[in-house]
Structure formats: C-alpha cells, structure tokens
C-alpha cells in the first residue's frame, strides 16, 4: 500500500507519453492517405483518451499527496507514543525504587 499512488502516477505519466507517441506515429504513417475529417477524428480520439488519462493522473497525484500527509501524521503520532511510553516507564521505575 505504501507508495501505491506514487507508482500509479508514474504509470499514468508513462501511459500519456506512450499515447502521444502513438498519436504522432499513427498520424505520420497514414497522414498522406487520410482526409482532413479522418485526421480530425483520430486526433479527437487521442485527445479524449489523453484528457481521461490526465484526469486520472491529477486524481492519483492528489491521493498521493494525501497519503504522504497521512503518513507524516502517523509517523509523528508513533514518535509521540514512543516518547510517552518511555516517560511511563521512567515513572514506573521511580515508583518501584521509591
């Protein structure tokens, strides 16, 4: 679960890059054989897919940021718990020796 969203961000970024390459390749291969209408249709399909991936990327980044914030809070609470446990142990030792 750790770094789950960070990994997702990397995957989506990679997928967007691949999509852009596929679009350029697809248009260059068939470019001279296509009508303007066909070209626009292909560009729209790629644009729709890219917008969808970018939306997913934004959501993953937000979740990653939230996950990092929660992790910092948990780490701070864990440190505080350990500190309080040590303080309790000192008090117990003082009571036993008194």
Domain boundaries, the chain: 4-97
Give per-residue pLDDT as tens, 5-54. Answer: 888 888 999 999 998 988 888 878 776 677 888 888 888 999 999 999 99
pTM exceeds 0.75, yes or no: no
Q: If pLDDT is split at 50, 70 and 90, which confidence band does 90 have?
A: very high
Residue 1 pLDDT: 55
pLDDT greater than 90 at residue 83? yes
What is residue 87's predicted lDDT score, i.e. its pLDDT?
95
Please report, for residues 14, 15, 25, 96, 98, the alpha-carbon distance to residue 18 in angstroms, rounded to integers and kept in the order given: 6, 5, 10, 68, 71
Residue 70, pLDDT score: 94
Residue with the larger pLDDT of the pair 97 and 73: 73
Render 19-58 in DSSP notation, one character per residue. HHHHHHHHHHHHGGGS-HHHHHHHHHHHHHHHHHHHHHHH
């Amino acid at each position: 679960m750790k770094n789950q969203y960070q990994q997702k961000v990397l995957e989506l970024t990679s997928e967007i890059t691949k999509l852009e390459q596929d679009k350029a390749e697809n248009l260059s291969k068939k470019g001279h054989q296509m009508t303007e209408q066909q070209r626009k249709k292909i560009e729209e399909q790629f644009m729709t897919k890219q917008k969808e991936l970018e939306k997913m990327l934004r959501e993953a980044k937000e979740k990653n940021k939230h996950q990092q914030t929660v992790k910092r809070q948990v780490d701070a609470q864990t440190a505080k718990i350990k500190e309080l446990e040590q303080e309790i142990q000192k008090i117990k030792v003082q009571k036993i020796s008194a």
